[in-house]
Amino acid sequence: MNNLVKSFLSFVLVLLALIATAKVLAIGEIYDFSSPELLERYEELTKELRCPKCQNQNLSDSVSEISDDLRREIHLMLEQGQTDQQIKDFLVARYGTFVLYNPPAAGSTLWVWLIPVFFALAGSFLVWRVLLQAKQRPIIAEGDEEDLL
């Protein structure tokens, strides 16, 4: 095996090892929950909510202090019996809709939802047009191909 392939393979191995350990490391404090259902909701919420400081990390992955605080608060609110919606509202009232990775389909964030729909429709329309034209174009006989080039 030549050296280049070897070094590439060892690089891939190291990378895989790093990814594997990253998954094992739990971040921040580990909370006890009174029921497995609460733990499940906690994990879902912290994955769904964004760390206000780090812009592109969710609360469950972030090591920043503020994420620690927010996780602590979410744990507390879950144990107090608050609903997911109440918890999200609490955070939005303080940090804005920014903390929601899924922005609400209203107000300033409405276009985020509408534009992809528009592009999907426009794209489908284009594909349909191209296909239609291809269908209407006369089929070229094999011998004629050279003339076209």
Question: Taking CB under 8 A as the rule, does residue 37 contact another protein?
Answer: no
Query: Which run of H or E residues covers position 124?
Result: helix 110-136
Question: Is 66 among the residues that bind another protein (CB under 8 A)?
Answer: yes
CB of 60 closer than 8 Å to CB of 43? yes
Residue 55 contacts another protein per CB under 8 A = yes
In the bound state with another protein, the residue whose beta carbon lies nearer, of 6 and 72, is 72
Site track 80-119 with another protein (rule: CB under 8 A), x = hit: ------------xxxxxxx---------x------x----
DSSP conformation class of 28: S
Q: Which stretch binds another protein (CB under 8 A): 47-55, 79-87, 123-131, 139-147?
A: 47-55
Distances (CA, A) of 69 to 29, 66, 74: 10, 5, 9
